[in-house]
Structure 1
Amino acid sequence: MSDSRDANYYRALLSHRSVSRRGLLRGLFGAGKKIQQQIDESVIKRSDGRPPQAVAEALFMHLCSGCGDCATACPYGIISLQNNRPVLNIDFSACDTGSCLKCTEVCSTGALSFDIVADTSFNPIISSSCFGRRDASCRMCSYSCPPAALTFDALNQPIIDETDCDGCGQCKTACYHGYISLEPGIPRLTN
């Protein structure tokens, strides 16, 4: 009996031609929420670092011509081309996201833009073997962090402020024990 009620209900609902204001707004806002969810789900996460000031990944992949001008302009030699796309290698030198940005200056396609906050999309991961976790004898990573995004709490646990960390890699290069690794994440495009 409930099946016939359901069928009658849907038949009456579909034959109803006028839309209430509430129904119209619910439909419009519901569609907006669904579109926002699809956009959030479609954020592309790279498996490697991005040049600082790179636009959103999908647009970056479309705009970047793979010319290599950014790699040539980088005074630290950390940008290289792999499959005609620039990637960062911050193993032995860090990116000066605060003042250099030579890569953005030479980019003619708009894939790198001064309108975007400088962020390489790298996230520092600090090993449990870190000497700074044991006592305050080593804080080289914290001292070398230009935006002061890496600090240690009273229990010697590292705290990374993700809103301030730009993925420059200064902490990794300062750690002479090799207890910091950088893993690609989702870049900050705005402050």
Structure 2
Amino acid sequence: MDVSRRRFLGARVPGPAPFRPPWSVVEAAFLDRCTRCDDCVKACPTGLLQRGDGGYPEADFSAAACTFCGDCAKACASGAIGRDTTQPPWSFGVVIGEGCLAAQNVECRICGEACDAGAIRFRPRIGGVPLPDVDLAACTGCGACIAPCPVVAVTRKALPSALEQS
């Protein structure tokens, strides 16, 4: 079937799976196990977890960040969110796109100021303002840098280890 014809007729092209709560099992198992009870959403102290499509919880970084408190994992009785909070919560980092104000020669360091892990540093450059540089090894994936960006240049990026497990 011609994909362009499907788009023309209004069919939705499936996109990537939404970001689930930290320590969630793989997407297929998550959808099978999650009862959509909202216990994890209610337990989230920052408001990061929201009810998403189909009533399943999603991590919404547009207004909050993850503190990795583990309250969502403790509240989940179905096993959709793992209990081993000593493991990484998810495998993603951030990417700063070309729309970044610093790339347009406008001084802005908001993402770096929001990053408690110090994963975003600003490298000087000749003839322009310093550019942000993300150290993915230091990035915790908390998402604190995403919401404050005034031009929405900071986005999530799945790390290779996440792609290999899927």
Alignment TM-score > 0.5, same fold: yes
| Corresponding position: 1:172 with 2:156 | no
TM-score, length of structure 1 as denominator length: 0.60
Higher normalized helix content (fraction of residues): 1
Question: Do the aligned residues in 1 keep the contact of 2:145 with 2:154 (CA within 8 Å)?
Answer: no
Question: Structure 1 residue aligned with 2:46, among 42, 53, 76?
Answer: 76
- Provide the C-alpha distance between the structure 1 equivalents of 2:26 and 2:140, rounded to a whole number of angstroms: 15
Identity over aligned pairs, percent: 30
Whose strand proportion is higher, 1 or 2? 2
Report the Cα distance in structure 2 between the residues aligned to 1:167 and 1:71, rounded to whole angstroms: 19
Given the alignment of the two structures, is residue 185 of structure 1 paired with residue 144 of structure 2, yes or no?
no
What is the aligned partner in structure 2 of residue 144 from structure 1?
Answer: 114
**CA–CA distance in 2 between the matches of 1:113 and 1:54?**
6
Change in CA separation of 1:169 and 1:123 when aligned onto 2, cut-off 3 Å: same
Question: Of 69, 81, 106, which residue of structure 2 is paired with 1:112?
Answer: 81
Deviations 1:33-71 (CA, angstroms, capped at 9, x unpaired): xxxxxxxxxxxx843222112123333233222221111
User: TM-score, normalized by length of structure 2?
Assistant: 0.67
| 1:54-94, Cα deviation, whole Å (9 max, x unpaired) | 12333323322222111111122221222132112211222
Q: Return 65-74 or 134-143, whichever deviates more.
A: 134-143
Which amino acid is the alignment partner of residue 109 of structure 1? Answer: S
Helix, strand or coil at the partner of 1:172: coil
Larger radius of gyration: 1
Cα separation, partners in 2 of 1:122 and 1:91, compared to 1, 3 Å: farther
| Distance of 2:153 and 2:70 partners within structure 1 | 24
**What SS does the aligned partner of 1:182 have?**
strand
Of 154-163 and 166-175, more deviation after overlay is shown by 154-163
Q: Does the 8 Å contact 2:73/2:81 carry over to 1?
A: yes
1:174 and 1:124 map into 2 onto residues whose CA distance is 13
Displacement of 1:165 after TM fit?
Answer: 2.4
3-state DSSP of counterpart to 2:41:
helix
| C-alpha RMSD over aligned residues | 3.0
Q: Any gaps of 5 or more consecutive residues in structure 1?
A: 1-44
In structure 2, stretches of 5+ residues that fail to align are 1-14
Specify the alignment match of 1:27 in structure 2. none
Inter-CA distance 65–167: structure 2 relative to 1 (3 Å threshold): same
Secondary structure (helix, strand or coil) at the match of 1:157 reads strand
1:1-191 paired onto structure 2 within 5 Å: 46-81=16-51, 82-97=53-68, 100-115=69-84, 116-119=87-90, 123-133=93-103, 137-155=107-125, 156-175=130-149, 177-183=150-156, 185=158
Equivalent residues, number:
142
